Structure 1
């Protein structure tokens, strides 16, 4: 076995297990609206939302007035293609073993979001063209077919929205760890910081840059409770590392602060668990700043509708 565990290693296990249990409890409690129609709330989910404004149309419409869905399709396609090229370059340089890093997991998650966004935008462009081409006499049948399709599209929208919110927090975490911890203080030949700095810098710039561009254009919400998915995503990666080390498939740790054979390991694990809050909060603050500042800076171009309820306030197009 490549996994050496001392008594303080079990404290690390407890920290990760506790984070998973608390996240699952919190998500099940707050996502209840996605299961029980009686408790459906506007901000919770696209799954059961009856409002057209809050429905799947958010997946392909922009927060900017009169902006054709094709612009979102264009930016999402460019983002996906550029990230795919960077990932291919990374794999060709280091082979498939590069996927032991959390950065690659997050990079793939962002790519999955953009791929799903492309599909949604393609449908949005088709619907936009149909609205301008169909005759009024066909509107009733058209609306019926469109509503039926959107009902089926809501589950897809839930996954897409969750991936967007999870990847946003994960991107902040990877970039903070890379720029503030790994680059200044560590020298690890597996990371390629000395021989391939350009590739690593491009990847840790592209993931955040393309996601910020997407955030400026889209009309998706960013509720705080979905930090639970972000925590579960990181816990899944940590458990994956434990498994491959326990099976002897890997003898070195991609990130030194994940090592279990050091007395300070619990402090590292606890610190990484806590840092999820400011990382997710930082991106939530960006979305809030967009919805707060843009209406004042661009009152005739930025479209915003506030939906209030007893728990929180959501901005949608």
Structure 2
């Protein structure tokens, strides 16, 4: 296969060495691109609030007495991972259906499967249904409250693709959808909610606005031409100051969530390390360097991982203290 044929089958902003192009049959490539399997950063960012919340629940003193131990935490983490990949793929496919005409006018996105004609709209709709079915099967493994809460998130998923048409804050609507896992992990553990996961959710929303503003600076020129809106355009040259506020607010709210849940020192150390990562992003940011904006955006998965490691260590410490004494 010629290099030209290969490039015609890929999208402009996807890594060419991804496993999609090395292992999957070529007929699956357009569907993998619709689901963004060649760009895992999206499902990773969707997953981290789920895992934070599940780990936060495992930090609660005496949680083992409720039946939510380390084994349940690990099982829920596996389910959330599968669900995040499936639902992020379904959401991206839906987004591409809504934005097909806009994507055709933006240099970075016109090579996507729908605007390039490699997948029909009907094929994309069938693919959404298949991915949503996987997500549903995962959701049904949880308690009734978590199932209903999961369905409630679909309202924000449906609204988000249209947000850039009616508000300068589409990143806020992305945060409402992408941070929903901050509620789900706790709900799956306890069958209800408390103030701690709600505050965690608010912190995750601010984090999402911050990292997606960085991402949006890649497309600001095209967005002006097409007539869509974003916080990158709204903040402009004041983006660094806005990011300081968003990331600081996220850290404060997450710290409050840790305190409300009775999390251990490990969780706070993880948050401190994540805060240092946020500061690094703000320091390094050049809003006129698209490649750097993309790299900094992707680095937020590292920040999510850092906080998750701290929370997980706190959960393990909590589980150890709950063990009966050995005589």
Please confirm whether the aligned pair reaches a TM-score higher than 0.5, indicating the same fold: no
| Higher RCO (CA-CA < 8 Å; seq separation 6+) | 1
Q: TM-score, normalised by structure 2?
A: 0.29
Q: TM-score, normalised by structure 1?
A: 0.29
Rg: which structure is higher?
Answer: 1
